[in-house]
């Protein structure tokens, strides 16, 4: 089962309506959209698979909908984007 | 010549003796000489080509930090070239503080930081604050905010670069001997430097703690207006205004976050100089 784990070498700061992730290794600062912020916050420190993350999202935000396709595949797409940014690790 | 502005010592070189003499005169109230001091940056104004030393003299900058798109400058605008060179060293090479493209002024060692794009009115507002309202001038172009401790602002009070319509505004208020030569036909139009009050230059080693951030919007005839920025807006503005946040890494990120969390930020719109001053004084009264 593939696990998504938040990378430790980041600093996460929430402002009033903006969430920032400073990546210590690259020195880059990423601004998360509200959607990405919710997903990022739903990933536990020890990691979780997409199904567990979707469950956590629904527990906090209610029913999760996707603009296209099913919520699970839309979530995987976003998780992959967080992985590409280097702020989440993907462990197979 | 060696010249100190705020915390940095510049070693300035040029074969154009007249240009160096103009610089010495403009910076007459600042520490000069210091042959035994270690300097931070070198700025040299050299002829664009060997023959351009005499024929239609034109200069190019050679410095520790330069940008590729720097264009040659006519010798008559040498003061601007030196200013560009000196600012570029600070903006790109200074590492001890986070640098914002912003003006600043202090009262009772607490500072207002004035952020805005070129032409928004920050130089004029900082000149008005120091020459008409008794504030201590701390800079009109770059604000240096500490990376630790109380995140204080280190003054960098170089001569204020007034442009176009802001020149007569200050000529009405300040005696002529505090102005540098009038530079016509520059890339920014007419430019004239205004020396800060001597007290401000003498106090340039005294830090001030940021207490207020304003972003001025001068539009002739506009009604005065104040709008509080959200922290997110303030972060985006200051992040864009910072010239070295990326270079500094996490301490730079940290300093910026702490600044916008602890200091209120406002957009101010005004149609006259007096209104601009009144708005800053009103906000200052609120933060005190």
- B249 contact residues in A (CB cutoff 8 A): 24, 27
pLDDT band at B5 (very low <50, low <70, confident <90, very high): very high
At residue B85, the pLDDT reads: 93
Looking at the structure, do residues B225 and B160 belong to the same domain, yes or no?
Answer: yes
Which of B70, B94, B118 is where one domain is finished?
Answer: B94
- Encode chain A (92 residues) as per-residue pLDDT tens digits: 689 999 989 999 999 989 999 999 888 999 999 889 999 999 999 999 999 999 999 888 876 666 666 888 889 999 999 999 999 998 88
- Domain check: are B142 and B243 in the same one? yes
B250 and A22 within 8 Å at the Cβ level: the answer is yes
Last residue in a domain, options B94, B118, B133: B94
Q: Could you report the predicted ipTM of this complex, rounded to two decimals? A: 0.85
What is the DSSP code string of B92-149?
A: HH--SEEEEEEEEEEETTEEEEEE--TTSSHHHHHHHHHHHS-PEEEESSEEEEESST
Question: Whole-angstrom Cα distance, residue B272 to residue B276?
Answer: 6
Please indicate, yes or no, whether residues B135 and B228 belong to a single structural domain of this protein: yes
User: What share of chain B in percent tops pLDDT 90?
Assistant: 77
B20: domain range?
1-94
| Min Cα separation B236/chain A (Å) | 10
Contact A18 B236 (CB under 8 A): yes
């Amino acid at each position: 089962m593939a696990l998504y784990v938040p990378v430790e070498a980041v600093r996460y700061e929430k402002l009033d309506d903006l969430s920032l992730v400073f990546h210590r290794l690259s020195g880059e600062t990423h601004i998360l959209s509200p959607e990405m912020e919710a997903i990022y916050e739903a990933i536990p420190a020890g990691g979780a698979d997409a199904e567990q993350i979707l469950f956590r999202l629904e527990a906090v935000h209610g029913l999760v909908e996707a603009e296209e396709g099913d919520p699970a595949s839309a979530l995987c797409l976003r998780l992959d984007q967080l992985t590409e940014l280097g702020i989440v690790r993907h462990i197979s | 010549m060696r010249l100190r502005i705020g915390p940095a010592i510049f070693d300035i070189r040029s074969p154009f003796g007249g240009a160096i003499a103009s610089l010495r005169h403009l910076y007459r109230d600042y520490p000069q000489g210091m042959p035994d001091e270690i300097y931070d940056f070198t700025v040299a104004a050299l002829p664009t080509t060997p023959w351009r030393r005499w024929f239609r003299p034109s200069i190019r900058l050679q410095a520790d930090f330069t940008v590729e798109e720097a264009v040659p400058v006519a010798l008559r605008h040498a003061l601007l070239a030196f200013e560009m060179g000196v600012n570029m060293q600070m903006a790109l090479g200074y590492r001890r503080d986070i640098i914002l493209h912003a003006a600043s002024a202090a009262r009772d060692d607490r500072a207002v930081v004035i952020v805005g794009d070129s032409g928004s009115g920050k130089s004029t507002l900082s000149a008005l604050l120091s020459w008409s309202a008794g504030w201590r001038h701390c800079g009109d172009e770059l604000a240096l905010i500490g990376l630790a401790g109380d995140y204080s602002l280190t003054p960098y009070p170089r001569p204020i670069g007034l442009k176009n319509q802001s020149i007569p505004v200050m000529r009405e208020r300040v005696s002529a001997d505090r102005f540098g030569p009038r530079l016509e036909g520059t890339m920014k139009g007419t430019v004239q430097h205004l020396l800060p009050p001597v007290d401000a230059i003498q106090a340039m080693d005294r830090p001030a703690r940021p207490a207020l951030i304003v972003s001025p919007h001068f539009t002739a005839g506009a009604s005065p207006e104040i709008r509080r920025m959200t922290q997110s807006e303030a972060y985006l503005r200051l992040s864009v205004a910072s010239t070295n946040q990326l270079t500094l890494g996490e301490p730079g990120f940290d300093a910026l976050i702490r600044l916008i969390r602890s200091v209120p930020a406002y957009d101010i719109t005004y149609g006259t100089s007096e209104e601009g001053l009144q708005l800053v004084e009103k906000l200052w009264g609120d933060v005190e």
